[in-house]
Amino acid sequence: MVVTDILRRRIGEGVIERVAGPQRRAPGERRRIAEADRWFAADRPIRQVHSDCSMFVGGMTALLLQSLHPLAMAAVADHSGYRSDPWGRLQRTSHFIAATTFGRKEDAAAVIASVRAVHEHVTGTAPDGRRYAASDPHLLTWVHIAEVYAFLRAYETYGERPLDRAARDGYVADMALIAAELGVPDPPETEAEVLAAIGRYRSELAGTPQAWAAARFLLREPPLPLVLRPVYAGLAAAAVAQLPGWARRELKLPALPLADAALARPAGHLVVNAIRWGISAPNT
């Protein structure tokens, strides 16, 4: 095996282990699911978007954007353990996305029920004195629309195969099915509805000390081996560049359009393509 193949496998295995957790079974031992049994058919936009490496950028953008709701951020700060177990949290999120996107309807129902059960116990008081509950439909809606916005925007920038408007709306509609099961009332079903919903939340969103601390940890303090840090730095720059200008200002992240065009976006393409290259490495 040549040096480039070794490096390629090391990058791919390192990324997969961080995102999905240690591989417990060999590829040939993994459970096979017939296409007819999956919740979403192979031609659905959600399968196209969620199987693409642009999700590495979109996931980070989603976390940054979600942090701008003070009550949602307070719940994360008090209950998620993102500092003590950041990779565990990421792996649980990865499992949820995989089960709901690529699994059977009963697989999706099981993980959704598990998340809803956890949400029932996530309650508390934000630093501003307001009470929060993770099961609050208003907060669930914010988390959902921020995620849909971030995943779709990252795919439009870094995805392998472009989506036309109908397919983008189809992705939002697919995500709405999951959101409704999670307890989101009347989730948006088109891209335009997502943007309008974010606009309606704008007056509630603000940078807070908890959000700034989370952004600092996410962007500058990831517990990673040296081989993955350049990859992560590129992802972080790309993720920040995907945020709306007002969100960057709230998070105290400088908005530099020329730098985004000249540096962040090319870095994002380089890193996303490197991850694709690493993940597609042969097993032997």
- Specify the pTM: 0.85
Provide the pLDDT for residue 25: 45
Higher pLDDT, 14 or 52: 52
Residue 28: its pLDDT value, please?
42
| More confident call, 79 vs 149 | 149
Q: What is the mean pLDDT of residues 216-226?
A: 78
- For 159-185, what is each residue's pLDDT tens digit? 999 999 999 999 999 999 999 999 999
Q: Which residue has the higher pLDDT, 52 or 276?
A: 52
d(CA 106, CA 278): 32
- At 17, the pLDDT band (50, 70, 90 cuts) reads low
Query: Positive or negative CA dihedral for 110, 114, 120, 126?
Result: negative
Residue position matching structure tokens 């993940």: 279
What mean pLDDT comes out for the span 240-245?
A: 93
Per-position DSSP letters for 197-261, written without gaps between them = HHHHHGGG----HHHHHHHHHHHH-----GGGHHHHHHHHHHHHHTS-HHHHHHTT----HHHII
SS (H, E, C) 124-191: EECCCCCEEECCCHHHHHHHHHHHHHHHHHHHHHHCCCCCCHHHHHHHHHHHHHHHHHHCCCCCCCCH
Q: Which residues of 18-38 are buried (b: 16+ CB within 10 A; e: fewer)?
A: bbeeeeeeeeeeeeeeeeeeb
Nearest to 170 by CA among 45, 39, 51, 52: 45
Whether residue 235 has pLDDT greater than 90: no
**Domain-by-domain residue ranges, the chain?**
40-279
Model confidence pLDDT, tens digit, residues 75-125 = 999 998 666 666 666 778 888 999 999 999 999 999 999 999 999 999 999
Tell me: pLDDT of 238 over 60. Answer: yes
CA gap 214, 75 in Å, rounded: 12
Q: Evaluate if residue 202 carries a pLDDT over 90.
A: yes
Q: What percent of the chain is modeled with pLDDT above 70?
A: 79
- Structure confidence at residue 36 (pLDDT): 83
Average pLDDT on 185-196 reads 98
User: What are the tens digits of pLDDT across the range 20-64?
Assistant: 445 544 444 446 788 888 999 999 999 999 999 999 899 999 999
Mean pLDDT of 212-223: 86
Dihedral of CA 72/77/83/84: which sign? negative
Query: What is the DSSP secondary structure assignment for residue 123, as one 8-state letter?
Result: E
Q: Is the pLDDT of residue 271 over 50?
A: yes
Checking if the pLDDT of 229 tops 70, the result is: yes
Cα(122)–Cα(120) distance, integer angstroms: 6
Cβ(157)–Cβ(76) below 8 Å: no
